[in-house]
Chains A and B, each alone.
Chain A
Amino acid sequence: MMIELKKVSKTFPGSDRPSVDQVSFRVNQGNICVLLGPSGCGKTTILRMINRLEEPSSGEIIVNGENITGVDPPILRRSIGYVIQQIGLLPHRTIEQNIALVPELLGWSTSRTMKRVRELLEMMGLNPEEVARKYPYQLSGGQMQRVGVARAMAADPPIMLMDEPFGAVDPIVRIRLQDEFLSLQQRLGKTICFVTHDINEAIKMGDYLIIFNQGRLVQMGHPIDVLISPADDFVLSLIGDDRGVKILDLTKSEALMEPAGEIPGDLIESGCVVQSIQPVKAALEVMMKKNSDQVGIFRGDQAIGLLSWDRIKKHVNRVSG
């Protein structure tokens, strides 16, 4: 367990209500924990208390076994990656110099830093030759956002705090950035606290969701558990009416199929098959495209089952309550 909040509260001066009210939760190592909620629910404040950009009015925050009030804030922050929605690249420094910021603060040698900068640019899908010497104003929104993430990862911090990191770009670019980041995270396994107000982003990115409303923690759990059993009407309305369909996106085909050793030849011929780990939604799409009532399920090259439209319908019915 990497990050722990114990009964953390924050009331801003001049306000009569707490912005964060007795919040406790844990973030496990290697997980993306999503803090979800509407504007003003306190999620960003909580994030900023973890790297001491805000100080709690009461409660404890423990990072890596140590109470963070015992660590000098700038030192703490150099070990935690921080990505914000507006990105905040230094306009008067080149991309190289921007990414090199924390390594320089930590006293890395120039050669080690430059090597790391190249590595990060490539990791983020940017061409170092093209981009390293440019200034932020010369980059597109998507490129800047990638540089923002690269900069946060420069010193390879085990923990990252991300506040709507993909919010400043258009939806098409956002989806790509999300996908790329997820595949990066598979390789790197960082501990990430991710703030968003978008339920779809939360479900897609999160290993674990924590939902807030007006400063209070309302529900915690794996995305699919939250979708199946929302804690109250607020969470229900946050999830949206289409939670049955959202669940399809998260459920693997193998979870709903009927096991079978053989699959009808015409299904195989027409290509009406999906892999067992693909979401049920993908199976549904194939069914609709091929105009079929059922889909063959394969694990690799081996046929293992059948998934019918009927079963999907019953499942959505059951979980939608």
Chain B
Amino acid sequence: MEAMTIGAPMYILEHLYLVLIPMGIALVIALPTGIILTRPGYRHLSRRTMAVLGAGQTIPPLAVIAIFFPFLGLGYGPAVLALTIYALLPIARNTITAISGVPEDIKEAASGMGMTPWQVLKSVELPLSVPGIMTGVKTSAVLTVSTAVLAALVGGKGMGAIIFAGINFFRPELILAGTIYIGTMAIIMERFITMMEWMITPAHLR
């Protein structure tokens, strides 16, 4: 019972950091990269990039941490690094798919009327890609919330600490508590992002 109340807020907060920081970094990297990979000069790179990111996804997070151990040691740093790598793929892939999915005739008409490529991107391609991109962000967020549990194994703390404590000390109520917290966190994040998505979705799709 104590685990549910006293220690919990600190762990929840730590877990939140372990989700928000990698997500933030991932967004800053993956969104622009995804957009660039849909531009005419760079389209041929997109398949290879996706392949690399996809391959990265198959490496277990612990292996990533182990690889960087000599450089970063244990603790927060490597945990955030591993989580960021995992958060990148859904965002990048969905961004590319969504932007590529904007119908050609709409882009053709927009260019043909005299919009510059930048204007076409800003006023046509991006607004119409919002649903697809946000799906990627949601997927990434939910994935990160659960993967962040592993950070506890290398001293990154977070809710993983409670869950692994429960495993190691045979206290199932801790496992249950930890799981409920991260499950709730995932749901809240997803709802929150959906709300933001609704605010920026173009009117014709609502």
A-side interface residues toward B, CB under 8 Å?
A: 51, 53, 74-78, 82, 84, 86-92, 101-102, 105, 135-137, 148, 151-152
Contacts and interface: CB of A to CB of B under 8 A. Distances in A.
Contact of A91 (B114, B115, B128): B128
Contact of B113 (A86, A135, A137, A151): A151
B113 A82 contact: yes
B199 to A, nearest CB: 14
Contacts of B204: 91-92, 135-137
Contact of B115 (A51, A87, A105, A148): A105
B43 to A, nearest CB: 15
B114 A75 contact: yes
A69 B205 CA distance: 40
B184 interface: no
Interface in B79-118: 103, 105-116
Contacts of A90: 106, 109-110, 123-124
Contact of A86 (B105, B114, B128): B105
Interface of B: 103, 105-116, 119, 123-124, 127-128, 202-205
Contacts of A84: 105, 108-109, 112
A136 B204 CA distance: 9
Given A91-B106, A92-B128, A51 B112 contact: yes
A137 B128 CA distance: 14
In this complex, the member of B105, B112, B204 whose beta carbon has the largest number of chain A beta carbons within 10 angstroms is: B112
A253 B106 CA distance: 45
A137 B103 CA distance: 14
A88 B109 contact: yes
A77 B105 contact: no
A214 to B, nearest CB: 24
B116 A74 contact: yes
Nearest to B117: A74
B203 A82 contact: no
Given A91-B204, A92-B205, A135-B204, A105 B113 contact: yes
A92 B119 CA distance: 15
18 contacts: A74-B114, A74-B115, A74-B116, A74-B119, A84-B105, A88-B109, A88-B110, A88-B112, A89-B106, A89-B109, A90-B110, A92-B202, A92-B204, A92-B205, A101-B110, A102-B113, A102-B114, A135-B203
Contact of B105 (A74, A88, A135, A137): A88
Given A88-B110, A90-B124, A92-B204, 9 more contacts: A53-B108, A53-B112, A75-B114, A77-B111, A101-B110, A102-B113, A105-B113, A105-B115, A151-B113
Contacts of A102: 113-114
A74 to B, nearest CB: 5
A78 B113 contact: yes
The 3 lowest CB-CB distance pairs between A and B, nearest first, are A88-B109, A92-B202, A78-B114
A246 B114 CA distance: 39
In this complex, the member of A87, A88, A102, A135 whose beta carbon has the largest number of chain B beta carbons within 10 angstroms is: A88
A44 to B, nearest CB: 11
Contacts of B107: 88
A105 B124 CA distance: 14
B148 to A, nearest CB: 35
A90 B103 CA distance: 10
A263 B115 CA distance: 62
Contacts of B103: 88
A148 B202 CA distance: 21
Contacts of A78: 113-114
Given A74-B116, A75-B114, A92-B127, A82 B109 contact: yes
A103 to B, nearest CB: 11
